[in-house]
């Protein structure tokens, strides 16, 4: 007689998030890395193609960009606090830090839009030169990602509010957004260093 064996699935630790969905999201981030790598490469080629127009040294104001950078980097820290609250099962703490993160991300976007508006008012729009076309494409693509992240964050906050307790699915979604948000910070460090600082020096 054959004996049937029953596989017993080990219990997951309370702070462990099943990795299948998170791994799939890592794969998505890898494709996004390729997109941004291509945009950085295009900017590197076009960074001195001014077509008789202004250069980055003429246009970029580092103090303003540094303020944008501090907003985004600080939002990464506050999102980390939100995840700590989530792992402790404290919805109030999670939502409070998500709110702070959202405000900082929104402030970053507002400052970026003001910068774009200022450049366009000076006649330095994306059609002025190859340098400016590549600049607006790279920085604008990052800004679109931040916008998408903020929308995602707002939707997640609404979903968390609709549940009495945090569910496993909530934790997976929060973890994926955490990966996405920190990824955008890493990309922006590259933008700040390679696009702004390198153009001014």
Q: Does 4 score more than 60 pLDDT?
A: no
Are residues 145 and 63 in contact, defined by beta-carbon separation less than 8 angstroms?
no
Place of tokens 């193609």: 49
The predicted structure's pLDDT at residue 100? 97
Instruction: Read off the pLDDT of each residue in 113-135 and give the average, rounded to a whole number.
Output: 94
Query: Domain segments of the chain: what residues?
Result: 61-200
Are residues 124 and 54 in contact, defined by beta-carbon separation less than 8 angstroms?
yes
Q: Which residue has the higher pLDDT, 22 or 26?
A: 26
The predicted structure's pLDDT at residue 189? 95
Take residue 173 and report the two structure tokens written for it. 């979604």
The predicted structure's pLDDT at residue 19? 57
Instruction: Read off the pLDDT of each residue in 39-63 and give the average, rounded to a whole number.
Output: 92
Beta carbons within 10 angstroms of residue 188's beta carbon: 23
pTM confidence score = 0.85
The predicted structure's pLDDT at residue 13? 44
**Top CATH class, 61-200:** mainly alpha
The predicted structure's pLDDT at residue 183? 96
The predicted structure's pLDDT at residue 167? 84
Q: What is the mean pLDDT of the chain?
A: 88
Take residue 85 and report the two structure tokens written for it. 């609250």
CB half-sphere exposure, 112, CA atoms < 13 A: 27
Beta carbons within 10 angstroms of residue 22's beta carbon: 15
Are residues 130 and 49 in contact, defined by beta-carbon separation less than 8 angstroms?
yes
């Amino acid at each position: 007689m054959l004996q049937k064996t029953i596989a017993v699935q080990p219990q997951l630790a309370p702070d462990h998030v099943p990795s299948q969905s998170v791994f799939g999201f890592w794969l998505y981030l890898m494709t996004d890395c390729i997109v941004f790598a291509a945009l950085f490469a295009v900017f590197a080629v076009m960074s001195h193609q001014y077509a008789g127009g202004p250069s980055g040294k003429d246009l970029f104001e580092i103090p303003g960009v540094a303020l944008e950078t501090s907003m985004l980097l600080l939002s990464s820290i506050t999102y980390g606090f939100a995840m700590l609250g989530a792992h402790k099962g404290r919805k109030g703490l999670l939502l409070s830090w998500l709110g702070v993160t959202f405000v900082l991300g929104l402030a970053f976007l507002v400052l970026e839009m003001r910068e774009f508006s200022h450049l366009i008012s000076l006649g330095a729009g994306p059609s002025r030169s190859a340098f400016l076309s590549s600049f607006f494409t790279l920085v604008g693509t990052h800004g679109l990602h931040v916008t998408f992240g903020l929308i995602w964050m707002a939707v997640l906050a609404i979903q968390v509010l609709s549940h009495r307790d945090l569910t496993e699915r909530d934790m997976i979604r929060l973890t994926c957004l955490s990966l996405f948000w920190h990824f955008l910070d890493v990309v922006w460090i590259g933008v700040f260093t390679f696009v702004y600082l390198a153009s001014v020096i």
